[in-house]
Amino acid sequence: MAAAPTVSAAFKAYLRSGFHMKAELMTPEHHPFPLSVGNFWRYRVKRASRNGEPLRGEDGEPMVEEIRIEVTDVKKFDGYRVVTLRRQRKHERTRSDKLRYLVTPKRLYHCSNFCRYKSRDMNFMLGYVRTQTPLLIFPVKRGQSWKAGGVISGKGRYTVRPQTELATVPAGEFNDALVISGRRGQNYVTRYFKQGIGIIQRVTRGPSDTRVEELIEYRILTTE
């Protein structure tokens, strides 16, 4: 009897990440996280001590910061994209840096500088997604968990709560927000995600303090 056919780990990663799917699934009108040039999200950032007391500056006022994240570039490849975002921090002075995401129809990953440099190399990309834990898995489903390589698992690094919540932030009230929790380094991060908009709120609990980012304003374009 012939042995059962085997599927390589690279091919499993290829299918799992959705590299084989139509690029149209990543357009703003179809993708749960609309990442097209010109889209932006502005957040108010507050910090508190472990006992919940607001951290205060030298003037005695609570420490509050603003962050604005805007999509500035989208590189399209066969089955995936590399998205660059400018992150501006407004506090005592305005500072900026860059974020990058590797986006497929089924997964969203952080993209390192080397990931961006090798973004045209499909073999590299397949190896990259096999070792990285996605920030999001699409479609985002209640009760789902996943781990490194984007493998859906009963005990994953990130878990979506079984129930959605009403997220109330300065930008408004958002029904049916998906709540995604997991550990990142020494921190425990909870994200409130609204499909078609993005992250509404992010709560990061660290060893010494808690950081809360709340959406103030956003712009979602429907064309690229």
- The percentage of the chain sitting over the pLDDT mark of 70, rounded to a whole number, equals 92
**H or E element, residue 126:** helix 122-131
**H or E element, residue 125:** helix 122-131
pLDDT tens, position by position, 129-150: 999 999 999 989 999 999 999 9
Domain edges within the chain: 11-219
- Facing residues of 107 across strands? 137
Over residues 164-193, the mean pLDDT reads 94
Higher pLDDT, 24 or 110: 110
| Res. 1: pLDDT tops 60 | no
Over residues 98-125, the mean pLDDT reads 95
Cis peptide before 139 (omega within 30 of 0): yes
pLDDT tens, position by position, 189-204: 999 999 999 999 999 9
* CATH number given to 11-219: 2.40.360
Specify the pLDDT at position 93. 63
Tokens linked to 66: 């603003």
Over residues 174-182, the mean pLDDT reads 96
Over residues 66-83, the mean pLDDT reads 94
- Facing residues of 213 across strands? 45, 202
Confidence of residue 10 (pLDDT cuts 50, 70, 90): confident
The number of CA neighbours under 13 Å toward the Cβ of 51 is 1
> What amino acid is encoded at 83 in this protein?
V
**H or E element, residue 57:** none
Q: What is the DSSP letter of 50?
A: T
What whole-number distance in Å separates Cα of residue 158 and Cα of residue 146? 6
Specify the pLDDT at position 94. 67
